Homo-oligomer: A and B are copies of this chain.
């Protein structure tokens, strides 16, 4: 297989720019699209992701939401607090383990799911992709993510050590 490492120096910074940048740009474009599509629901994109997890798997501790979304408490704690302010969830210290906080959907939070069903329809229209494209894109992205996570965990590949 041909790897980037075999290309000459001068092309590297250009090519590199285009790969990482296109992903960066795509992520922000998605964010912009969701911002619009979620305006009706008064949710931000990450808040929507948290609600998806709750709708799918039901009430659960902060820890578990974090594992699912790959987010730590530094991000989730304030985010969930905002969802609580909005009346969509409640947060309660677990009785069995006092360290854990269980996040529960309120009636309003559960009810919001009905309106949220419109969102993926709008998004899918906006992407202009068919199912085959999406499957392919997702497969590539997941492969990249896995490889990148492994590289970060390893460390040596990246730090130049």
B159 and A126: CB pair below 8 A?
Answer: no
A111 at the interface (CB under 8 A from B): no
B22 and A145: CB pair below 8 A?
Answer: yes
A121 and B4: CB pair below 8 A?
Answer: yes
B144 and A26: CB pair below 8 A?
Answer: yes
A81 at the interface (CB under 8 A from B): no
Given contacts A16-B124, A147-B129, contact A134 B4 (CB under 8 A): yes
Q: How many copies does the complex hold?
A: 2
When each residue 142-161 of chain A gets 1 if its CB lies under 8 Å from chain B and 0 otherwise, what string results? 11110111011001011110
The stretch of A5-13, A58-66, A86-94, A102-110 that contacts the partner chain: A5-13
Question: What's the dominant secondary structure at chain A's contact region?
Answer: helix
Could you tell me which residues of chain A, from 2 to 31, have a CB within 8 Å of some CB in chain B?
2-5, 9, 12-30
Cα(A151)–Cα(B24), bound, Å: 18
List the B side residues contacting A122 at CB < 8 Å: 157-158, 160
* Residue in B closest to A15 when the chains form the complex, CB atoms: B120
When each residue 102-140 of chain A gets 1 if its CB lies under 8 Å from chain B and 0 otherwise, what string results? 000000000001001111111111111111111011101
B123 and A33: CB pair below 8 A?
Answer: no
* Residue in B closest to A34 when the chains form the complex, CB atoms: B20
Interchain nearest-CB distance for A125 vs B (Å): 5
